[in-house]
Structure formats: C-alpha cells, structure tokens
Structure 1
Amino acid sequence: MTERKGDWWQIAVPEKWEGKTIEEIFRSEWEAPKKLTHTFRMEKKVRYEGTEANWNVPLTAGKRLELLLFQEEEILVPPYYRDIEILYEDDHVLVMNKPPFINTHPNDKDDVETLLNAAQFHMQANGEMRNVRQVHRLDRDTTGAIVFAKHALAGAILDRILVKREIKRTYIALVHGLLKQKKGTINKPVGRDRHHPTRRRVSPSGQEAITHYQVLKEDYTQHVTYVKCWLDTGRTHQIRIHFSHLGHPLVGDVLYGGKPIADRQALHAIKLEFTHPFTGEKVVCFAPFTDEPVIFKDIDVYQI
C-alpha cells in the first residue's frame, strides 16, 4: 500500500523487500543514480517508522517507509499554457497525448512553447511546484502518448527502464504503397545525413536501429497501408527512415520522400505500456487520434 502524506510518500514495506536495507532498495530495486541517492541520504529524505532512517538496517515487511518526494523546488522550466489531453496521471507520472506541430522540449532558451513547458504549467496549476522531467521524446509533427516524470526519483527510474527497453511504445504509421510482407523486422543502422542538417539515413556506420511492423489494413484506392510498429531502439526519425528505405515513405513526410497529402508525417504513438516505478502496477495508455481532417481512418485505437 502506498499513499501521499503532504510532501512525503508513504509505503508499507512489501514482502519482497523483507531483509533488504534502504541502501539496497535505492541501489538494486530502483537502480537510482549515486548522486541522487547521496542527496536523499545527506538531506535526510527517508524516514522509517516515523523517524530518520538508518540506511543499513534490514527492513521488515509491513513497516512504514517514507520518502520526501514532493517538496517545492526552484522552477527552472517556464510554464506555458496549452490545452493538453491527459492519458494518465498520479503523484509520480504524467502521460499526455501530444498534439502535432509542437516540440517535445525546448531546443534553445527562447523556445518555451513546448510540451514540456505545457506539462510544467499543468503541474503548477495543480499546486505542484516542482520541475517536470521529460523521459523520452516525439518528433515535432508526431502525435500520441508521451511520458513525463513529476519528481527526480521517478525521472531517474523511468530513464533507466527506458534504456532497458521496458517502456513499450506502439506506433501506427500510414505509408505509401502496399507492402510485400505483412509483418517483419527492419534492422538497419541509422546515422546522420552529411548533406542535410536535419535528415538522417540508413548508414553502415550509424547506430543500431530495429523496427518491427505488422500491416493492419490496406487501402487499394489510395494505394496506402496502415502499419503497426514497435521499436527495440529509439533513434531520431527511426520509423520514418526505415520505411522510406523500404520504398514506402510515410504519407506527408516530405523530408523522406512522402507526398504532402497530409499536413504532417502520418505517425502516431498509439499505445504506451510500462510497469509503474513505485506501485509495480502495469500502466497501459491508449492515445486517441486528434487530427482534423482525419489521417488514420477507421482504426480502433483500443484494439491495437
């Protein structure tokens, strides 16, 4: 059982932590960074049974452990008001449905009209005076589910499970042409294109990039295909590059050879799944389509 008590987060020590020390919980269970762990220890941000915790004493299942997670911080992210759709939220995590034509995070100090800034406004509007933390990103014109952390420890744990590929992100893309294979894996390294400032390309010297896909539906009239994709890696523009390389660029993706029959590249992060860093519960978020006019026609988001 876990609950918030003011600035403190309270947890009944679970059976699996029996006999482990707080030091071991931070190091092995959460794999928290050493610097952050040191801060919790030095600033006395952990209590056990209501008193300052001894980090080296074995814990007993059912006893009360408390962490100072929700105290106010100096706000470093300028808030920016924008109406945003919340897919999931609790004291630790915020999942939003990213609209198109907005950056995930600032690219320079003057770039404050981003999703990160909008998330910061949302937190402050709800009285949470802490810096929101970006966990992953979506391209400016890509839409769908994206996760942010609401405090430093949640951010560190989510960063770690992202690296370990334990945050599963499922996309839907609309590509030109009809694919020969109805399902498959594209394993082609991706690197920078030396001849273009923002474009990437398949390159033998690039970073490993693996995209799995499955055809959902074919539109023979428009000569396009709806494809479900999921990634083992998260390279910039990965899905866009891989399908362009196959000869099936995304609809609307003029940077990689798509035709401008949509006002953006037809890519949507439709589903996001992860194990909650503190409760251990499975979190599954589905992101409804928001495009007007509609890009992804007759696709049931909740059946992906």
Structure 2
Amino acid sequence: MSYRGSAVRRGEWLEVMPGKLPQNIDGPSSAVHLWLKETLGMHPKLISRLARQDEIKLAGDRIRIRLFPPRDFGFEPIWTELNVLYEDDYCLVVHKPAGIKVHPTGNERQPTLAHRVAAHYMGQGEQAAVRHIHRLDEFTSGPVLYAKNEYAQLFLDEAMSVKKIERVYVAMVQGTVQSPAFRIDAPIGRDRHHAGRQRVSETGKPAATQVTLLETLQDASLVRVTLETGRTHQIRVHMSHIGHPLVGDALYGGSTRYFDYQALHGEALIFPHPLTGETIEIKDPWPLEFTELHRRLAW
C-alpha cells in the first residue's frame, strides 16, 4: 500500500485524486471501494460503514471521504506537560515519562498519558478519540503511538499484528553480558505464584527478543533490545531469565541500589504511515534520569 498522490484535508473530509480507477464490472462505486482498499489500505469494515452512511463521494476526478468526524476524547482532559515527538492528521507520537501510566486502571496517583493527550487535542481544537496503538509499562519511558481517526487506527492495529511496527529499547542490565548479539526465544506466561508477574513457561505464549551489547559498565551492561513479539514485561522477563535482570527491577530480581525502577527506555519507534505507507522513524532521547544512571555506572 502506497499513495503518493494529492491528498487534502477539508474539515471532516479527505479529498484524494485516484487517477484511473480500477476496472470493475459492478460500476464506479465498487471501483472506488476497490481503490480505497488496495491503494489507501482502508479496512473493508470501514469502507462498508462509510458507504452505508454516504460518506464516500465521487466528485469528478476526486474522491471525498469523511475520515475526520468529531469524536469524544474518551478521557477527561487534564492539562500538564506533554512532549510531542511527531504529529499529523493521522498519527501522534508522544514521550511517556517513567512513572506515568498509558491509560487509567483505577489506582492512578497522577494524570495518565491518555488524560494528557486528551488535553493536547482540546488545546488544538481537535475532537479526536484518544486511541493508543501500543502500551509501555508504568515505569518504562519512551514513545507511544496514537491513531487520530478510525482509518489510522485500523491500519496501525493491522501493522502491529503483522509486526510492521518496530520498537527499539535500551536497557541497563546487571552483570557483564558476554555475547555481542543474541536472540532470546522463550515463551512467556503468567506467574501463578505472584500476582502481576510474568515468567518463562513452556505453556506460555511465544516470545522472542533480539539483544545487542552496546557497552560494558561497572557491574552492569548497556544493551539495545528489539521486540519480535509484544508480551507483557517481555524484556524484563527475558533478561532476568538469562541472569541479567534490569537494574532497578526488583520484581524480576534486579537491585535497586542505583535505581528505583527498571532501567528501560524506548529509544525508537518505526511504523508505516497510514496514508502514504512511508516509513516513519521517531527517536526519543534518553531522559535525564537514564543519562545520570549511565554516568554513575560508567567505568
């Protein structure tokens, strides 16, 4: 899927110029639907709903699609600092600080990222639902991707399910990692003896993690980690499983001598753009506390 032609947003509508539509014996309407599916990558469910509501219109050499209807935020807007890393009409990527939850779970001590994103939309006069595409643990920092409309959400959810969205992390782990690069392939499931904890288990779900050694530190190692799957606590579980728990990660055997929570930061997020298919790479610089920990552990 790749569309590099003219695409102009006019209020709630997107206008595109498809050029020559595919031949379709069922008529121009079906040809438009086929083009939306094959060229824009639009989900058939969304095409069907928009067509039913007369929100796809062929006007001369243009197709008009109502992709940006107003939607409730879904969360109370709460004004607080938000670091926006990327934004357009389809996607939003923001930095999540350590100690902030992505969305409410009922026992928050402060506004979640969802509340902050809702306030960001309100501040821009934008009525969009807050739709996260992936999550980070409460004490993991890094970029979080949001879809700003249903078209983008369906596209990015599919991209996530077929592993077209790449998440790259850096972590400081205990001990000296010996191998310069390796892969951990070990299934992960719930730990029946410890609520809120996961463990490597033969009956768990498949999980694979790529690890690259970046630097040997004082009684620790700096590693870059890429996820092949997205299991709960995957990096923390896998690194603990091989004897290198994350610095500060008490839940999985890490020492809190130097850090109060897991030393894990998402440094890059790579995803295909919903409209153009262009690869978007967003980098999130190390937060101050992560940089300070690295300084303390450096030889």
State the TM bucket, normalised to the shorter chain: 0.7 to 0.9
Match of 1:215 among 213, 216, 219: 213
Match of residue 32 from structure 1: 43
Q: Identify if the C-alpha distance between structure 1 residues 124 and 214 changes in structure 2 by more than 3 Å, giving closer, same or farther.
A: same
Alignment partner of 1:265 is 2:270: no
Distance in 1, matches of 2:19 and 2:185, equals 41
CA deviations 1:230-286 (Å, max 9, x no partner) are 111000000000000000000011100111111221111100111101022221100
Query: Structure 1 runs of 4+ off > 4 angstroms?
Result: 17-20, 25-29, 109-112
CA RMSD of aligned residues (A): 2.1
Query: What is the 5 A alignment of 1:270-281?
Result: 270-281=267-278
Deviation at 1:111, TM superposition (A): 8.3
CA separation of 1:82/1:186 partners in 2, compared to 1, >3 Å: closer, same or farther? same
**What is the TM-score normalised by the length of structure 1?**
0.86
TM-score w.r.t. length of structure 2? 0.88
Distance 1:161 1:188 in 2: 23
Q: Is the 8 A contact 2:172 2:247 kept in 1?
A: yes
Give the percent of matched residue pairs that are identical in Structure 1 and Structure 2.
36
Say if 2:294 is the partner of 1:297.
Answer: yes
Q: Is 1:235–2:231 an aligned residue pair?
A: yes
| Superposition deviation, residue 106 in structure 1 | 1.6
Residue 95 of structure 1: how far off its partner (Å): 0.4
For 1:266, the aligned partner's letter is: A
Aligned equivalents of 1:172, 1:79: Cα separation in 2: 31
**Residue 25 (structure 1) shift:** 4.2
Q: 1:19 to 1:278 in 2, by over 3 A?
A: farther
Inter-CA distance 146–19: structure 2 relative to 1 (3 Å threshold): farther
CA distance in 1, matches of 2:113, 2:287: 16
User: 1:72–1:130: 8 Å Cα contact kept in structure 2?
Assistant: yes
In 1, distance between residues paired with 2:115 and 2:13? 25
- May I ask how many residue pairs the two structures share in their alignment? 282
- Which whole-Å CA distance do the structure 2 matches of 1:289 and 1:248 have between them? 21
Compute the displacement of 1:38 (Å).
2.7
**How far has the Cα of 1:208 moved from its partner?**
0.3
The reply to whether residue 286 of structure 1 matches residue 283 of structure 2 is yes
